[in-house]
Amino acid sequence: MNRIASSILGIEMIVVLLAVPVAINLSDIPTTAGWLSAGLVALLCFVGAATVRRGRPGYVIGTAAQVGAVGTGFVIPTMFILGGIFALMWFMLLRLGPEVERRSAERAE
């Protein structure tokens, strides 16, 4: 579950940073606001991916990154969709991950 969580956060960080130039060119958003909001979400994703193997704090930071990604939609409207997709994947991981790990451990025994 830790690998999947860090992968989701790592890919999200890349997508968020790549969405900013596109959003700036397509819509009339301030450049500084776009980069600042996306940079904050990318930083949360990076820290979350780095600490997710240490347990609960990494997952809390990852959840904050999901909230931030969806909230960035108020600055960059396309982030409502992209943030929503990543938030859905994150919450499905949190919901189904422990059960999958439990079943995998049962099969290993």
Contacts of residue 12, Cβ cutoff 8 Å, sequence gap at least 6: 41, 45, 65, 69, 86
Predicted pLDDT of residue 17 = 93
Under DSSP, is residue 94 helix (H, G, I), strand (E, B) or coil? helix
The full set of domain ranges for the chain reads 2-108
Q: What pLDDT is attached to residue 68?
A: 94
pTM for this prediction: 0.87
> CA 82, CA 88: separation in Å to the nearest integer?
10
User: How far is it, in rounded angstroms, from Cα 45 to Cα 43?
Assistant: 5
Residue 23: the pLDDT is 85
The pLDDT tens digits along the chain (109 residues) read 888 999 999 999 999 999 889 888 888 888 898 899 999 999 999 999 999 988 889 999 999 999 999 999 888 888 899 999 999 999 999 999 889 888 888 888 8
pLDDT number for residue 97: 86
Helices (H), the chain: 2-26, 31-51, 56-71, 79-108
Q: What pLDDT is attached to residue 91?
A: 95
Residue 105: its pLDDT value, please? Answer: 86
